[in-house]
Amino acid sequence: MTELLQYLVLIPLAGFVAGLLLPPKRETAIYWSAIATVGLNSLLFVGIFVLWAKSGFADQHADGPVLYSTNTANFSINFFFDRNSAVYFFVTSVLAFLVLTFSRYYIHREKGFKRFFNNLVFFYTGLCFILFAGNLETLFVGWEIISITSFFLIAYYRERYLPVKNALKVVSFYRVADVFLLLGIWMCHHYFERNIQFAEIREMYRNGLPIITEIGYQWAIPSMFLVVALVKSAQLPFSAWLPRAMEGPTTSSAIFYGSLAVHIGIFLLLRTEPLWADNTGFRVLFGTIGLLTTLVATFTARVQSNIKTQIAYSSIAQIGIIFIEVALGLNLLALVHFAGNAFLRTYQLLVSPSVLNYLIHDQFFNFIPPQQNATNTFSDKLRLTAYTWSIREWNLDGFAYRYLWKPLKFMGNHLSFVNAWSTVWLYLPLFSVGMYYAYHREQVPVFLGKWLPIALALVGVFLILKAFVKRNEAWRAWLLIVTSQLFIALAIAFNEQFDFAQIYLYLSGILVSAALGYWCFWLLRRRSEATTLDRYHGHSYEYPRIAILFMIASLGLTGFPITPTFVGEDIILGHVHENQYALTMLIAFSLILDGLAVMRIYARLFLGPHTKGYHEVAYRSS
């Protein structure tokens, strides 16, 4: 049975590749390719489930390929199958069939029919990686996949302003979750001194053996995964992104933000349960967050005028209750609740256009004027206050902008000493000198050894902050991003002595992606197209091939699992010591902004309203 687990990931991956090769106008072939992918995988799952039942429903673990291995580092793809995987995959398969069938007619004759179905199949592939991951590294692969497919499906109507803008908002939250997941993996590496398997920690937990004995790690490791779960499941204070994600097509909203992707935070908590199961304070913490989220989301859902926003906040409220159930140890109830909420929200979202049409028709012919309510009593004033806060969604979106993104923009705009020319004539030569001394560590004064990694990481942060706010030529921001990555690698190289092949593994994907990105800039300038970042240009309309190439370059630069950078990112981060808090924060901060700055460049150049007047101007919203 265990040797079959890898095919639950390989079949969707093969189906995605097959979908890429089909012509865009062959809608029937594209649809049946997606259906065949989900169908074959579901049949294999049924066979595995029968074998699993014969084994007495014992947890199953399988070793996969080792992508990179040395005496000090190991990155392998492993698989794990248990009750949580089975329930989540059953719901995933049923809803995937339903949404794919519905989308065949809903997206019929749309320009992006193939793009939509390929994204759905790729999302299904990412979910399979997560559900059957045997270790945190494999889970991280799937996590990155569903993050990028979220961006593309929200921005499906890419010629419109609001879908693209909201896609960038959502990916900014997702990037925070990605980096915190990477930090959680880093902490586990330091504590266990190796890559841990889910089957291993589950067996230790069942045998009553202590897993995490140090009080600091008892809170630090689970807290990293809790932040990831809160972001992905849209719990407080990260709830504002989910209604913004509804700008995509209704069918993708149903499978992403009503049913599957939004519940992945729960799955992560269930998968890492042995790491926090004996920590009562931690249970109280995320149970309380779930309770507060339920209350706030319930009030908000009851006053929203947009039906998809109502459903989004209703789903958030139910997920908050599931958090409480997991905190109380009611895992089976949480799984049943997940399945019920997923099916209900998918149904509600799929029928929401029809329901909205009926309600508008009924209101037109049976209008009832609003009644005047008294506002003199304290209870009336309290009710109206709650109404006002709820209809403004508790200012969660404004809170994130005011206290997170606005200060970053303020700092970036005031870094006048960082620009493209100082990068070419100062920072790149400084990097070259740094690489020389990294090879000759004996020539570096001892008193510099402690502070040099922090100083180099700080230079990387300055560069990425400036790239984050750049409004002129895109190639300048691209140069700052690449140079920032070089300084992060150099900072880790000075932190301790290790095999430089690991640094080269990390930089190989960075440099190749950088060169591919500059080639795309050159192609656009050769065609006399604008490449500034002060507006959306929508170049993908006329240059779809260049858009695809630049998308690949962007994914490579952000560490997506298509280049060695993805593996190198995890490996070199392991050379940051667990007590180096300042260095860790600087690197994490740089990685977050790296993803945001890169996706901002891609969106500004290739998405949004067309920059040329002879193209049809789309509506701002979908």
pLDDT for the residue 482: 94
pLDDT at residue 613, as a whole number: 65
Angle at 380 between CA 379 and CA 383, to 5 degrees: 85
Helical spans, DSSP H, in 63-106: 83-106
Query: What's the CA gap between 604 and 616, in Å, rounded?
Result: 18
- pLDDT tens-digit profile of 562-601? 888 888 888 888 888 888 888 889 998 898 889 899 999 9
Distance, CA of 493 to CA of 504 (rounded, Å): 11
CA distance 506 to 3: 31
Chain centroid to Cα 467, Å, comes to 21
* Positions in the chain whose pLDDT score sits under 70: 71-73, 356-375, 612-622
> Given this model, what pLDDT does residue 57 score?
85
Tell me how crowded residue 223 is: count the other CB atoms within 10 A of its CB.
18
* Short-list 570, 503, 501, 592, CA closest to 187: 570
Q: For the chain, give every domain's residue range.
A: 2-360, 415-606
Task: Round to whole Å and give the CA distance between 50 and 424.
Answer: 62
Q: Kindly compute the dihedral angle of the four CA atoms of residues 298, 299, 301, 305, in this order, to the nearest 10 degrees.
A: 170
Distance separating alpha carbons of residues 44 and 6, to the nearest angstrom: 11
Cα-based angle 545, 28, 96 (whole degrees, multiple of 5) = 90
CA distance 471 to 332: 51
- 3-state percent helix, strand, coil for the chain, nearest multiple of 5: 75, 5, 25
**Tokens in use for 597?**
């700055």
Burial of 50: CB neighbours in 10 Å, binned 0-12, 13-18, 19+: exposed
User: What three-state secondary structure class fits 532?
Assistant: strand
Backbone angles phi, psi at 68, to 5 degrees: -160, 135
Distance CA 508, CA 229 (A): 31
pLDDT tens digits, one per residue of 488-512: 999 988 888 777 788 888 888 899 9
